[in-house]
Homo-oligomer: A and B are copies of this chain.
Amino acid sequence: MNDRLARVSLMRLAEPDDTVMGRLVAAYGPEAAVAQIRAGRLDPEFVRWFADVHRNGSGGARGREEPMERLDRLLASWSARLEGTDPGRDLAEGERTGARLITPGSPEWPTQLDDLEELRPRALWLWGEANLRLSCVRSVAVVGSRAATPYGAHIAAEFGAELGSRGYGVVSGGAYGIDGAAHRGALAGGTPTVAVLACGVDVTYPSAHHDLFAAVREQGVLVSECPMGVRPTRPRFLIRNRLIAALSRGTVIVEAAVRSGAINTAGHAVALNRHLAAVPGPVTSDTSAGCHRLIRQGAATCVTTPEEMIELVGTIGDDLAPELRGPVLPRDTLSAELRRVLEAVPARTGAGPATIAVTAGVDLETVLSCLGGLAAAGYVERVRRGWRLRPGGP
């Protein structure tokens, strides 16, 4: 059994968040790991390491269970699953579908996944035209609530399209709501988009996304660490989220309730030292409450436009968002003195320069010179009783 087949086996043996398995594979490589499981006997050094970690209490307490009992149980469950696996059949089935398997070391493997350490996926199934590594090297994850509001869906689509048009790949989870809108935005902009699924790449979940996934395959790529045919489960969605965070330079949460999968993705982004941003929304909307909480906690940067997101994840100084400015009114270009005189000029009935001087709090000479300038610029006009504002302005 070679590295590739061993990894295909491992995809079935343990859930992706099984860090003990992750450690075993990291220490011995996939082939030796499978061999140890098949033999029903883990390397004594590994067993010692496991016991040490748990004696020191840093491996996550698990109630009253003894470390060795736990390791035995894990090994038993890996073995039980190994019996039913046929990696050759899995590989053939994926290839028949049109998908391809990539493993660490494949040219298409995104090396940023190495940041996941023991949670690095054993392998990935890809289905679609785009090169995953190239699509993700400069990418942003746009994620959020399945129960998106029209506001959130609009923003997600805008972010997807605009990030794409500025050369950023758009990574999301292929779900209803924000995810789907982000993918659609990217597709509309002609950009590759990466949908990381919690099920096999051949499983259309949600089924209403049949056409969307077909479009993603045409222009982007579907990604999964699950074998073909695997259905999504609730824990798999959460485990999957770490891939979305790891693949991209930064994650922007468009809409999310206080408790939602997107908040879980946010946690992964922070843990992975990726940029995290959240889009604000109406405080009356529950689906923006999670975004606001992340902003309030200082965990996420408040981002209101795709440009601001690019500024966050882009190269410092190279990708600055344009500063938002209000319209420059002609009046604003006046000096403080001119403005003060202008404010003292009545709108309808004229006033003499002396009256204007007292109202404005400046001396007569200043008023006379200012009135000349203001008249030339069209702000004021001379009438029988003095000066007044010119109707219609300059």
State the A residues within 8 Å of B (CB): 14-15, 18, 73, 76-78, 80-81, 84, 151, 154-155, 233-235, 257-260, 279-284, 288-289, 292-293, 295-296, 301-305, 308, 324-327, 339-340, 343-344, 357-358, 361-364, 366
Contact = CB atoms under 8 A, between A and B. Distances in A.
Contacts of A308: 296
Given A77-B362, A296-B304, 15 more contacts: A14-B361, A15-B340, A76-B363, A80-B364, A84-B358, A151-B284, A234-B339, A235-B340, A258-B324, A259-B327, A279-B283, A280-B295, A281-B282, A296-B308, A302-B302
Contacts of A76: 363
A358 B83 CA distance: 10
A259 B292 contact: no
A324 B151 CA distance: 22
B326 A80 contact: no
Contacts of A343: 233-235
A292 to B, nearest CB: 5
Given A155-B284, A284-B154, A295-B280, A77 B357 contact: yes
A73 B362 CA distance: 7
A84 B151 CA distance: 58
What 7 A-B pairs have minimum CB-CB distances, sorted nearest first? A259-B326, A280-B280, A283-B304, A233-B343, A76-B363, A295-B302, A258-B326
Nearest to A21: B361
B80 A358 contact: yes
A81 B283 contact: no
Contacts of A302: 280, 292, 295-296, 302
Contacts of A234: 339, 343
Nearest to A254: B283
Which of A78, A289, A293, A361 is packed against the most chain B CB atoms within 10 Å?
A361
Contact of A73 (B259, B296, B363): B363
Given A73-B363, A80-B358, A361-B81, A326 B257 contact: yes
21 contacts: A14-B361, A77-B358, A77-B362, A80-B357, A151-B284, A233-B343, A233-B344, A258-B325, A258-B326, A259-B327, A260-B326, A281-B281, A281-B282, A282-B282, A283-B305, A289-B304, A289-B324, A293-B324, A295-B302, A296-B304, A296-B308
